[in-house]
């Protein structure tokens, strides 16, 4: 009889955490009887009554949580006497709150996503980076986007907030006025409407507002990756940066901030993508100009090869299984 593995997900919005869970779940089935407890993610769901039955049985059970509210739910069952192994992933690179640290210390194993996050956490942990569903996030030719007039697209996907660096990108995007057949498409949930207005004003001042598009968060992000030649990830901070890995998997030539999140591990500068210093709009401007002009090669093929070799969901699942079995 296989041991039980339960991932938890209690969050209404679909986020990078959601996709990371969904990516790995199918790869556990050979080793574990696998379930998803909660809502907001796709998988074989288990109800609370069934969960209790398993937790209080003689079966070997591993529960993997991703947020504080999920850890607290599982600790309540442990308080009632349930026997199971608790694994918790820390998805943010910021310094944890006191509550988060207390909860993480109660887990049997703690997982972090990148080395810098691991070093900052201050407690024992294992680094397991996210993996991409390479059979879903893959290149596709001749994909077009509705309402985009230009033929060539530069994509920026992710939350629209100051920490994600869209101001840096908009300042660099002034080069678009010399390339009328190129568009910048920014896709993501807007945290504060005033910040969106600030970005729109920058585009207007740069005289490229007719070439800059703002698209709300969409479940069809795949089409945006596949339609884009270049993807820019100008963040100042990232927990991991699954967007970067997904864009690379789809064959985008990625330009990302160095030493932010997993960027410098995913990208070998000039080999499978390009790196620039966060906040340096002039450096980003030169990279975009050279990429558009053909002075720098587009490295989408090399980017895809890197993901296939080192950053697939299968590889992540294999590394997580080692954590569970330890």
**CATH number of the domain enclosing 225:** 3.40.50.2000
**Per-residue pLDDT, 95:** 85
Buried b (16+ CB within 10 A) or exposed e, 83-118: ebbbbbbbbebeebeeebeebbeebebbbbbbebbb
**160 shares a domain with 304:** yes
Q: Show Cβ contacts of residue 107 under 8 Å, excluding neighbours closer than 6 positions.
A: 65, 71, 86, 87, 88
**76 shares a domain with 33:** yes
**Is residue 145 domain-resident?**
no
Q: Enumerate residue ranges in the chain where pLDDT < 70.
A: none
**102 shares a domain with 232:** no
**125 shares a domain with 194:** no
H or E element in which residue 275 lies: strand 274-276
Give the residue numbers spanning the domain of 57: 4-131+312-325
**DSSP structure string for 211-229:** GEEEE---S-HHHHHHH-S
**Is residue 253 domain-resident?**
yes
Q: Is 12 helix (H, G, I), strand (E, B) or coil?
A: coil
**Per-residue pLDDT, 54:** 96
**Per-residue pLDDT, 14:** 86
**274 shares a domain with 202:** yes
**321 shares a domain with 280:** no
The tens digit of pLDDT for each residue in 150-205 reads 999 999 999 999 999 999 999 999 999 999 999 999 999 999 999 999 999 999 99
User: How many structural domains are present in the chain?
Assistant: 2
**175 shares a domain with 85:** no
**228 shares a domain with 115:** no
**Is residue 256 domain-resident?**
yes
């Amino acid at each position: 009889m296989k041991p039980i593995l339960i991932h938890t997900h209690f969050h209404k919005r679909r986020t990078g955490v959601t996709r990371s869970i969904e990516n790995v779940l199918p790869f556990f089935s050979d080793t574990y009887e696998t379930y998803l407890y909660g809502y907001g993610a796709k998988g074989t769901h288990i109800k609370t009554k069934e969960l209790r039955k398993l937790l209080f049985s003689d079966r070997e059970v591993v529960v993997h949580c991703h947020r504080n509210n999920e850890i607290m739910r599982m600790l309540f069952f442990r308080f009632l006497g349930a026997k199971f192994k608790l694994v918790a992933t820390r998805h943010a690179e910021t310094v944890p709150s006191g509550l988060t640290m207390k909860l993480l210390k109660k887990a049997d194993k703690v997982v972090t996503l990148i080395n810098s996050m691991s070093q900052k956490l201050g407690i024992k942990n294992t680094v397991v980076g996210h993996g991409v569903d390479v059979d879903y996030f893959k290149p596709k030719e001749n994909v077009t986007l509705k309402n985009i007039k230009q033929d060539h697209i530069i994509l920026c996907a992710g939350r629209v907030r100051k920490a994600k660096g869209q101001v840096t990108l908009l300042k660099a995007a002034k080069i678009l006025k010399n390339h009328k057949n190129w568009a910048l498409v920014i896709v993501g949930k807007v945290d504060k409407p005033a910040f969106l207005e600030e970005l729109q004003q920058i585009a207007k001042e740069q005289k490229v507002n007719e070439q800059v598009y703002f698209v709300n968060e969409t479940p069809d992000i795949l089409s945006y990756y596949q339609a884009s030649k270049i993807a820019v990830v100008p963040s100042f901070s990232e927990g991991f940066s699954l967007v970067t890995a997904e864009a690379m998997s789809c064959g985008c030539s990625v330009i990302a901030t160095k030493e932010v999140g997993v960027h410098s591990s995913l990208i070998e500068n000039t080999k499978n993508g390009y790196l620039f210093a966060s906040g340096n709009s002039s450096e980003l401007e030169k990279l975009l100009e050279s990429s558009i002009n053909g002075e720098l090669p587009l490295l989408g093929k090399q980017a895809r090869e890197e993901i296939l070799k080192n950053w697939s969901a299968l590889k992540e699942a294999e590394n997580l299984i080692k954590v569970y079995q330890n």
